[in-house]
């Protein structure tokens, strides 16, 4: 049976497009190798290739760049540095704190100082390595601890308080203080970073970019070239993965290739190899934590003081909103009556860390789950009972620490159902018995929830536009400001448009994101791609449909509300005609057969100075139950079973949603188990290739991996009753990390175990020894 077919109920009636598990719109092309990515676009005659010149020092004064040897090498056409920037030499970022090319100083190993341009990729790369750099080394800040000691920040600290945390701790019969470190994560998209810049007439530039945010790339390129935005067009048909790593980071390559194209008046392509991609681009933010928590005999938290320190790298990039979201999600699913949170945005001499699936949410959630797990172990209680004791309520205990009321809470029934379906209690008892008789292999099980807020925290980003064109043969084209990175956005948008017009899914085609079609589009990020662009496309299609209904109404003298569009036909009280015939008739009657649509998310507001308000339109919920085993002699671990119950609302495409849940979970599992970024004492990223950086492989997926969807539509008025599904499943993998801590605790007689993430074999052994 084909994957989508298993979701279909047996019926002879035509099914609507939305709610049906259609194949991904590019699936067949991808399997056949005919789907076009930026590096597959046929190159224009005269295309040149760029390669980056990288700093070899983490922090230092850049005293000179000698490109003489490189310029004399075969095929080399030029070297582009900061002197060749006609516009602003600083990138058009929010904080305006990152130079396009390093000028007088370098701030991390791998910082780009310029690019070499040559007739071939390998000629450019070989020449780039021959450029001689004169750098006077300076002391480098490489850890969060050093940054905190030196008060070295990319942005000011942020503090959020509710109630009296210290008083809540003081009156508690129990308390725990602890520290935790959680590592970053490389995006490891299948398609690396790439841009292709084509100079056009009258100082215009066309950019093919593998980017989540074409509008920002347009702005950055125009800013660097000293042009108006309307002189730059950015196009992206699809990406081969992104995960947040192409939200801002793709803009750098576009700017560098555009500067080269501008100077040499030739098309220029810049594509990183995997090593350079690792060394240049930012990662998920590593975090360090300190906490003190007070709690009663049932495990209820009475007071919490929490410090979160984000390793931001050498510039701000998106660290502000990432760290803000970590603060917002430091509660995860739990009501904190008296809490004090300090958030530090630390500057270090490493790559500038950036967006990654979850955008700070995972770093906020993991610490509260660690705290609750430790509370349970100290009290000798089942961790699920402690977690339930602290959950948000319905009528009371339902306001977050940032003053947003939780109005759509389904945590209690969702967790109860998963606990029952996964047979959690019986399995936990069986695991305890197993551990008694197994001195070397220890098992653990954990069930953890997720409550993830959906919307950009920067309110103005929560807007989208779309165009819907109906052609005279009845076929439909939709264009929107979102970008396709494999997550199925174009498929879902086409399904929405097809249903709005009452035509088969196959008659709708989504086209490449293009800044000349939909301007000022927000990044496809924050899990809001379908919520925003799908609704905008629906509104555009609705306007076309309403015009057609009015056309029939005028022609037949009926109420336009009684004109029904369904199954490729249009029905009125007097007649039924084929969609194609209606379109032909409407065209000849000069009815407008295209329209635009615009949508802005309602209800949201947010004060970025106090971090209070309603930053999210709604919450997505979920829970996962994971069972693991560890080898106490080697520290090796394996995930044995996973059961997931996730809230996707009413799915627009259940097959795609389940795929996102499965993929997000495995990626989160990698973050917390095998994916370890290691910088040496010189600031060099030692784990810069697949040989040293280990993402999960197919053998790491547990044989028992069960995903179910919560059967309830979104309680807010979202498109098709759906909920976002891109990021929330990632945090379900915290259940794996908690299960590993349970297993390690079992190996040490139930003692509290300090274990940093990721839980590599080395870190598991350290945890076992630290608890001895």
- How far apart, in whole angstroms, are the C-alpha atoms of residue 416 and residue 395? 19
Burial class (CB in 10 A: 0-12, 13-18, 19+), 141: buried
Burial class (CB in 10 A: 0-12, 13-18, 19+), 608: middle
Q: Which two tokens stand for residue 383?
A: 């961790």
**Beta partners for 652?**
none
Strand order from edge to edge, sheet including 76-80? 76-80, 112-118, 48-54, 268-271, 194-199, 205-209, 232-236, 513-514
- How far apart, in whole angstroms, are the C-alpha atoms of residue 89 and residue 103? 9
Helical spans, DSSP H, in 531-653: 535-556, 579-588
> In degrees, to the nearest 5, what angle opens at C-alpha 99 toward C-alphas 76 and 228?
85
Task: For residue 668, give the H/E element and its range.
Answer: helix 654-673
**Pairing label, strands 268-271, 194-199:** antiparallel
Please indicate whether residue 727 is annotated as part of the active site: yes
Nearest CA to 79 out of 104, 101, 46, 110 is that of 101
How many alpha carbons fall within 13 Å on the CB side of residue 88? 15
Nearest CA to 654 out of 165, 172, 49, 8 is that of 8
Nearest CA to 256 out of 124, 60, 68, 122 is that of 124
Say if residues 91 and 81 touch (Cβ distance below 8 Å).
Answer: no
Residue among 727, 738, 742, 762 flagged as catalytic: 727
Relative orientation angle of helices 535-556 and 489-501, to the nearest 10 degrees = 20
Burial class (CB in 10 A: 0-12, 13-18, 19+), 596: middle
**Please, what's the largest Cα pairwise distance for the chain?**
85
Enumerate the active-site residues.
727
């Amino acid at each position: 049976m084909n994957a989508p077919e298993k979701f279909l109920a047996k019926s002879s009636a035509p099914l609507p497009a939305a709610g049906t598990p259609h194949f991904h719109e590019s699936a067949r092309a991808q399997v056949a190798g005919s789907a076009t990515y930026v590096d597959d676009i046929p190159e224009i005659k005269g295309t040149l290739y760029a390669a980056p010149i990288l700093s070899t020092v983490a922090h230092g004064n850049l005293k000179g760049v000698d490109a003489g040897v490189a310029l004399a090498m075969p095929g080399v056409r030029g070297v582009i540095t900061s002197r060749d920037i006609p516009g602003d030499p600083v990138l058009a970022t929010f904080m305006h704190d990152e130079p396009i090319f390093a000028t007088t100083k370098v701030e991390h190993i791998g910082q780009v100082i310029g690019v070499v341009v040559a007739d071939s990729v390998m000629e450019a790369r070989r020449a780039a390595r021959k450029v001689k750099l004169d750098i006077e080394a300076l002391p480098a800040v490489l850890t969060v601890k050093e940054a905190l000691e030196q008060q070295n920040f990319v942005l000011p600290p942020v503090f959020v308080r509710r109630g009296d945390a210290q008083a809540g701790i003081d009156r508690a019969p129990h308390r725990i203080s602890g520290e935790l470190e959680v590592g970053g994560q490389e995006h490891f998209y299948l398609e690396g970073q790439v841009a292709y810049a084509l100079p056009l007439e009258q100082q215009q530039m066309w950019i093919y970019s593998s980017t989540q945010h074409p509008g920002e790339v347009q702005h950055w390129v125009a800013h660097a070239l000293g042009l108006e935005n309307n002189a730059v067009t950015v196009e992206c048909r699809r990406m081969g993965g992104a995960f947040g790593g192409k939200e801002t980071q793709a803009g750098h390559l576009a700017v560098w290739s555009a500067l080269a194209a501008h100077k040499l008046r030739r098309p220029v392509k810049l594509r990183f190899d995997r090593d350079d991609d690792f060394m240049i681009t930012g990662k998920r933010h590593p975090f360090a934590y300190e906490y003190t928590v007070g709690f009663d005999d049932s495990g209820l938290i009475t007071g919490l003081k929490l410090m979160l320190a984000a390793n931001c790298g050498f510039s701000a990039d998106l660290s502000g909103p990432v760290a803000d979201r970590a603060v917002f999600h430091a509660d995860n699913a739990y009501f904190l009556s008296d809490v004090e949170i300090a958030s530090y945005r630390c500057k270090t001499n490493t790559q500038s860390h950036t967006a990654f699936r979850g955008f700070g949410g995972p770093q906020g959630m993991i610490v509260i789950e660690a705290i609750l797990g430790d509370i349970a172990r100290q009290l000798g209680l089942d961790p699920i009972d402690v977690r339930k004791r602290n959950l948000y309520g319905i009528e009371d205990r339902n306001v977050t620490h940032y003053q947003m009321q939780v109005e759509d809470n389904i945590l209690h029934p969702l967790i109860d159902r998963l606990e029952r379906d996964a047979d959690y209690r019986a399995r936990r008892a069986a695991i305890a018995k197993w551990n008694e008789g197994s001195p070397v292999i220890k098992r653990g099980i954990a069930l953890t929830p997720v409550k993830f807020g959906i919307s950009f925290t920067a309110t103005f980003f929560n807007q989208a536009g779309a165009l819907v064109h109906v052609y005279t043969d009845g076929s439909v084209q939709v264009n929107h400001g979102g970008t396709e990175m494999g997550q199925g956005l174009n498929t879902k948008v086409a399904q929405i448009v097809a249903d709005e017009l009452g035509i088969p899914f196959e008659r709708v085609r989504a086209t490449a994101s293009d800044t000349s079609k939909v301007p000022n589009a927000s990044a496809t990020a924050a899990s809001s791609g379908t919520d925003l662009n799908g609704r905008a496309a629906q509104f555009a299609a609705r306007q076309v449909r309403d015009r057609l209904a009015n056309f029939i109404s005028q022609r037949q003298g009926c109420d336009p509300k009684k004109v029904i569009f369904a199954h490729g036909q249009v029905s009125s009280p007097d007649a039924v005609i084929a969609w194609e015939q209606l379109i032909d008739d409407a065209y000849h009657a000069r009815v407008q057969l295209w329209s635009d649509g615009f949508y802005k998310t309602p209800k949201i507001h947010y004060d970025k100075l106090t971090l209070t308000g309603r930053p999210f339109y709604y919450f997505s919920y979920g829970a996962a139950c994971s069972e693991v085993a560890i080898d106490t002699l080697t520290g090796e671990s394996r995930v044995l079973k996973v059961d997931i119950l996730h809230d996707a609302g009413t799915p627009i495409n259940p097959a795609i949603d389940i795929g996102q849940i499965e993929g997000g979970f495995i990626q989160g599992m990698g973050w917390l188990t095998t994916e370890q970024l290691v910088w040496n004492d010189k600031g060099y990223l030692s784990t810069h290739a697949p040989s040293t950086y280990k993402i999960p492989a197919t053998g790491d997926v547990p044989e028992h991996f069960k995903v179910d969807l919560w059967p309830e539509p979104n309680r807010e008025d979202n498109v098709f009753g759906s909920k976002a599904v891109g990021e929330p499943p990632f945090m379900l993998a915290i259940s794996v990390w908690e299960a590993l801590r349970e297993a390690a605790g079992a190996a040490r007689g139930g003692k509290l175990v300090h274990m940093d993430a990721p839980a590599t074999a080395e870190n598991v052994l350290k945890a076992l020894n630290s608890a001895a």
